[in-house]
A and B are shown apart, each in its own frame.
Chain A
Amino acid sequence: MRDRLFIIIAGAVVGLLAVILVMQGNPVNMGFCIACFIRDITGALGLHRAGVVQYIRPEIIGLVIGSFATALYVKEFRATGGSSPVLRFILGMLMMAGALIFLGCPLRMVLRLAGGDLNALIALPGYVVGVWLGTYFLGRGYTLGRSQEQSAVSGYAGPFLALVLLVLLLAAPAFIFFSEEGPGAMAAPIVLTLGAGLLVGILAQRTRLCTMGAIRDIILFKDYQLFYGFAAIFVVAFAGNLVTGQFNPGLEGQPVAHVDTVWNFLGMTVVGFAAVLAGGCPMRQLILTGEGQGDALITVFGMMAGAAFMHNFGLAGSPAGVSPAGQWIVFISLAVLFAIGFGNIKARLAAGKKGQARAS
């Protein structure tokens, strides 16, 4: 009861903040978009040169620092890592690849839906199919192995890098790129975006809000607890968009979106599949980074590499659609995900007493 109530509150706050951030300057239906914001930061650092999506998004900084401060305060900060870091990096890349085909992470998918973008209604079942594919492997013993205790400095790396980004944002040195037009140039005031990120970081750390976990638990165990948070984001953002006149139903002409049905569906299939194999959606990876998990930080680095890869090679989707090369990336991503899934079926039932009795 307690856990359920708190996750509903957390989801509601995320939905409300998303509406407010759009009213205050963020791109439409992009109050929060973890993949888009990590992509923007990647561009701001010059790792890709798509001039319209370069900005150090304070929301991401806030999410990591908010989670870090909360985890320290409640003594849940634990520096861990070493669980298949190379594969986690690749999973981060693939998660970002799928998100940049659809043009949004699972959180933005919900916010796009709440804003009336019906392309997200096509992406949602794609995401569910992706999560379902991942659960197929969970049920067969998929695991990336246990993480190990690491030195404290390893756990501080993520929050420290977030602080470095904050300094770069405030100092705005010449080597940092800031978009002058396009979505990257649209941003609510720093105080507001940083504050929203901090608040969501705190709430998500306390409640484990995760869009992948919400679907996974329904598929595996018919448990809806995490889904309540997912649903609360949608309900509050939908109501907020209606009240503020930001609800604009339809397929065509949606902001930072395209109408390629197949690629909207399959892009989110890649994201859902990768999120299950990586153990969390993009937002959850940031929260775990704040808690000191080096494996999650590696996944975030993978997402940054994925963003650079997708934009530098012209593979990312755009309002014009998805290029043939981008379409190939979807199939390659799915093939790699199946390879990672099949290649990591390691958990096995031990020979229990019953098995021993049958064998003797």
Chain B
Amino acid sequence: MAYSCYITFPTTFFAIRAESLLKNEPYTFKMVPVPRSISSSCGTALRCECDDISFVRAFLLDNGLELEAYYRLEEIGLRVPTVEELRFDE
């Protein structure tokens, strides 16, 4: 299964900060436009390994970032991705 996980941000400012903070961390990630299957907005999302998302989330929150939502997408070729919104216990 081709799963990717995404973190969205309330403003581009937090996306920019997330990228600079994660540069020196051992996580595989890429900043991308929010996938169309998640939203019609034109914001930026952070795509990472689903195994890492809880660690990435904790790291960013620990560094004072505001995060908006979390998603897991199954993306296979040109098929419409299946989207699952992830919930984390505070």
Contact = CB atoms under 8 A, between A and B. Distances in A.
Interface stretch (A45-53, A136-144, A329-337): A136-144
Contact of A2 (B31, B33, B75): B75
Interface-central residue, A76, A210, A349, A353, by most chain B CB under 10 Å: A349
Contacts of A140: 13
A221 B13 CA distance: 12
Interface in A1-17: 1-3, 5-6
A245 interface: no
Given A2-B75, A140-B13, A223 B32 contact: yes
A353 B77 contact: no
B83 to A, nearest CB: 13
B11 A143 contact: yes
Given A71-B40, A280-B42, A349-B65, A223 B16 contact: no
Contacts of A138: 11-13, 16
A350 B64 CA distance: 4
B31 A223 contact: yes
B33 A213 contact: yes
A205 interface: yes
A2 B11 contact: no
Contacts of B62: 352-354
Contacts of A291: 40
A143 B40 CA distance: 19
Interface in B48-63: 61-63
A173 interface: no
Interface of A: 1-3, 5-6, 71, 76, 138-143, 146, 205-208, 210, 213, 217, 220-221, 223, 225-226, 279-280, 284, 291, 347, 349-355
**In this complex, which of B10, B14, B33, B64 has the most chain A Cβ atoms within 10 angstroms of its Cβ?**
B33
Contacts of A1: 75, 77-78
Contacts, number: 92
B79 interface: yes
30 contacts: A1-B75, A1-B77, A2-B36, A2-B77, A2-B79, A2-B81, A6-B36, A139-B13, A143-B13, A146-B10, A205-B40, A207-B36, A208-B33, A208-B36, A208-B40, A220-B15, A220-B31, A221-B15, A221-B19, A223-B30, A223-B32, A223-B44, A226-B33, A279-B42, A349-B17, A350-B64, A350-B66, A352-B62, A352-B65, A353-B62
Interface residues of B, number: 31
Contacts of B42: 208, 210, 213, 226, 279-280, 284
A359 B31 CA distance: 31
A141 B15 CA distance: 10
Q: Which 9 A-B pairs have the closest CB atoms?
A: A352-B64, A349-B64, A221-B31, A347-B13, A350-B64, A353-B62, A138-B12, A141-B13, A76-B40
Contacts of A5: 78
A347 to B, nearest CB: 4
Given A221-B31, A284-B42, A347 B64 contact: no
Nearest to A139: B16
Given A349-B17, A352-B62, A352-B63, A220 B12 contact: yes
Given A1-B77, A225-B32, 8 more contacts: A6-B36, A139-B13, A213-B33, A220-B44, A221-B32, A226-B42, A352-B62, A353-B62
Contacts of A2: 36, 75, 77-81
A44 to B, nearest CB: 30
B35 A351 contact: no
B59 to A, nearest CB: 9
B32 to A, nearest CB: 6
Nearest to A78: B40
B30 to A, nearest CB: 8
Contacts of B65: 349-350, 352
